[in-house]
Structure 1
Amino acid sequence: MAAANHPSAKNALIVGASRGLGLGLVETFLARGWRVTATQRNASPGLAALKSEALTIETADIDDDAAVSGLHDRLASQTFDLVFVVAGVATQAHDPLHAVPRQVAAQVYLTNAISPVRFAETFRDRLAPGGSLVFMSSILGSVGLNTSGGWENYRASKAALNTLVRSFAIRHQAEALSVVLMHPGWVRTEMGGAEADIDVATSVGGMADVIEARLGQPGTMYLDYRGETLAW
């Protein structure tokens, strides 16, 4: 499914858009007049149902360097005002760390912390002037705000993401990149569960507002979906 050419529209790359927040972000930015390239790891009925001339669907697994490189090649003619890495996993998130098999714990860390930064490194040259790199973090990644425990391995993976993204931005500080680590709120998704505080529409609408208001602002920010700054 190829995007139509709308020269005046902003261009977004939403990475990990098969369902939940990623899919909601695609819908929201399309509704706001953006062109969107959305990635899926496997075929997504939700994405396929979003029939729009402004939408391009690509398949790539961020844990696969060759797949990311291939995606980079396929998108060689494009630059993006927004690159938003949403993809993440919460495997055995409710189990204490010692109860999670080492291989499972390591895979959560790779997917949630390592792969997003490697993706950003590969796609940094696709960011348009005045654009932003956004990473889906979580308030659970805040060390200072961890007063309740739980979700141990997932928390650690998001704290690692926050640290690695800050290091990535410092490594490229001469480029004055606009980088945002985003907490979507506790959202009623497959990951967030039915008891969560807010629905997908509230979360993605808020995140889109924050992104559009701060697009291209240099520096590294850790914000929630309302635009509030979080403690590291």
Structure 2
Amino acid sequence: MNQISPLAFVHPEAKLGDNNIIGPFCYIDRNTVLGDNNVLQNNVTINYGARIGSGNEIFPGASISTKPQDLKFKGEDTICEVGNNNSIRENVTISRGTASRGTTKVGDNNLLMENMHVAHDCILGSRLIIGNSTKFAGEVTVDDNAIISAVVLCHQFCHIGGYVMIQGGCRFSQDIPPYIIAGKEPTRYAGINLVGLRRHGFSNDLIDLIHNAYRMLYSEGILAEGIKKIKSELQITPEIQYIIDFVSSSKRGIIR
């Protein structure tokens, strides 16, 4: 049975699972789906097009599936998908998609800290930690296990690799490849995310291999030459292939 405050509004067409707690002054619009065991604290807004999984906790002032802040948006029928077991803190805003992709997606087991923004058509993976007041512009992709510190500004269409650590206050308009620390001003490569990789169980040999891959990549003036050197001199594990594929497919170029 759901516990819905008499001071909350739930549209008759909204679809709710079981054992949800809906606090006072929450607003749940039509064309929304909420799974099981979610906690919506007071003053949470679930807008048209939201598809929310189970086990999430959403804090006061958060607004999910908001209308995109994009002048090209003409009211097309789009959605915002949020997975399971996320902690979405105070005043977080997540826009729904536009005609470009149709969907904004947030995975599972993420911590989205206070006042951060996820714009239209972003794709966020799982097990992310995203700091206070960080802002993602439209169509940003973030792979699993990234840690993004507070007050980070990310340009539209950027791709952030998995297992990265991004220093607080960074602003960037190029892709950030996996397994690294990005920081300083302007934002650039600052070494391997050694502590993060060890915490995720990467062996010393694998960490050394990743470090050598980036040494080769950044020692060459042309990235294609660095990739060629990696392929010819290093063991191609799944992690090294991930780096190769990420850099090779980058449309905005990677930070240097």
TM-score bucket of the superposed structures, by smaller chain: under 0.3
TM-score (norm 2): 0.23
Q: Which structure has the greater CA radius of gyration?
A: 2
More strand by proportion, 1 or 2? 2
TM-score (norm 1): 0.25
More helix by proportion, 1 or 2? 1
